[in-house]
Structure 1
Amino acid sequence: MNTKNKKRIRAGIDTITKSNLQYFVIAFSILVLASGPLLLHTVSPQVFAAVQMITIPYGAFDPNFNTAAPQWYLPTATTIQVNQTVTWLNQDTEGHTVTSGKAGGREGLIQNNMGQPSGLFDSGTIMPGKKWSYTFTKPGQYEYFCTIHPWMDGYIVVNEKEPDPTDADGNKLTQFPQVRLTPDRRYEADLSWEPHYIMTGHKITFVFQFYDNVMPHPIPAHYIFTITQNGKQLFRSEDRTQFGGGYNYFSFDEPGPAIFRFDDIDNSGQSVQYSAMVEQMDSNSDMSGMAGMDDMVQPARNMALQDYLIPLFFTPALITAGVVVLLVKIRKKKPHEGDYVQ
């Protein structure tokens, strides 16, 4: 093959390579720019699962103090609500049981105490990699252990089920988030709060999203969020959401109907309103001990984490583009193998 043909082939390969790289950069950049807001839009407070998972870790069969397992059951103590299900997953190399009753403890090995089953529930042998589930239908404190390895013990605390939340008029709230459309039907505003059943003295997290109802997608929007109770405005926050979402914290000191409003959504003058009944916390409530442990009111953070994550989505595209430009410049300066340099 003569030198002229080699040059033509090399030039063709370079053209294809540079073209493919350019198409890759364009496609990759579009993908990153388009998916960034969508991925960030998913950042939101977590919701607890209906099924509580407990793991039997590797090394749980070993009664020694210096064992691979930090605990026999992870977590050792678990709090759930009535009618909630607990699933135990055996990740150890030996079979185990989940049996209600009192464990024998390490000292039981010397005293030949293999534990005292109560007869309420018994999983039988759960082989490695297998799992077993049980639904607790009554409140109370339940101790359980492994009949094969009686030093292994765990605890389940079952609380009464939380009452159903209601609006200010006493109507049951069955769906969260609560969805509202502005009077002109241009905007959709979704509001949820955790916990759904609001009691005095407990920090409530309000999570909200704004959408364009004409072209359904989340939007960053200006808003004024207020909380009013018994005719008195207790809280006001004026801010702008990032990628459509934001959240606020608040704690109620008094029971009674409360109104939550968003005004001037996206500087449109449009408003939406929600309501909830705030109940007095019982001193005997399982949640009463949590009162006062958290900051009662904090300024809106509005998914502030997104502001730090945004560069992560744009940086790869910029780096890739820079590398391609650098490679093209190097190829222009460096003669190809087989070329004659005069």
Structure 2
Amino acid sequence: MAKWIIGAVALVAVIAVTAVVAVSCTKSSGGSDKPTAAPTTSGAPASDFASANDTGPVSVITEDPSCAPWMPILNTLADAEANGWKERDPSIPATVWSQDVRTQYLAVADAMRSAAEQTAPLMKVTTHRVMRELYEQFIAYAEAYADHVPVYTAPDNQLALTAVGAAEVLSHICQAITYGSAAARAPLVEPAQPPTSVSPLGNSNRPVRFLTTPNLVCSDLRQAVDAFNATPEVAAWKGTDANIPASQWTPELRASATALKPVLESFAEKLNELGRQSSNSALEDFSTLAAQYMRAYVLSFPTFTRPDENLYDTSRLTAPMIVSACAAAGG
């Protein structure tokens, strides 16, 4: 099904958006009917953040009011990245750039700053804690990358990969909402455990990176992603056609899906385990998000249709985003 393997986010990424998502407000992603308001470090009242009361487990998101304004921001950024930056060699430092390359990098840096600025209000609009955290990290890493462009060296590419990864995860969450796969599969997924800790409300003026030093799970997470990619079941699934619904699967394709299921479930469990070991609330939420969307994807198999691929894409892009953030922090 054109099943994309979870792996390091491509060095070159353009965020493709096929439709503007029109969605409405919903309850928090947590499972509690009466959650406690999260603390704030932003100086703004907690009530300014629609997700302030979302302190429960991360789940598959079926509605979010921030998706509609987010999509035009993505489209504009993607257009800016189409100036030749996509074909860049990220190993070349700024000290030896040609004038054309420098112009490309500086234009994308400006576009990332602009996208980050436009994204800041969405931190308050989203009703989900994990969406707020993803917006925060897109902003933090996009701004960090833009700051480093004038003195760019190869390791700075990890900042771009993390920003792009967060943006793509948000895009696929929103597409899973608008095309119905999230609502169709979310009720089937067992609730995640409550978080071991909850992120405080961030500074909407200047969000900070969730990893500035290597986390204790970074190495294990990278190894888990690499091991997942190396499994023959994932390799066999990669080349199949996502446009074929489950009702038209051949016996061979159905057998491939059956063999893949325990691999995906095991990977989801590993992500959940590592997140809870991390002692980092945002990293835990991102890992839980990837695990829950992977479980939703597995549960879609009996009645799979093309929109369900957005569940897989949400999961497969989240894990490498964390790995890139680990690398940006030196881990």
- TM-score, normalised by the number of residues in structure 2: 0.22
- TM-score, normalised by the number of residues in structure 1: 0.21
- Which one has the bigger helix percentage? 2
The structure having more radius of gyration, on CA atoms, is 1
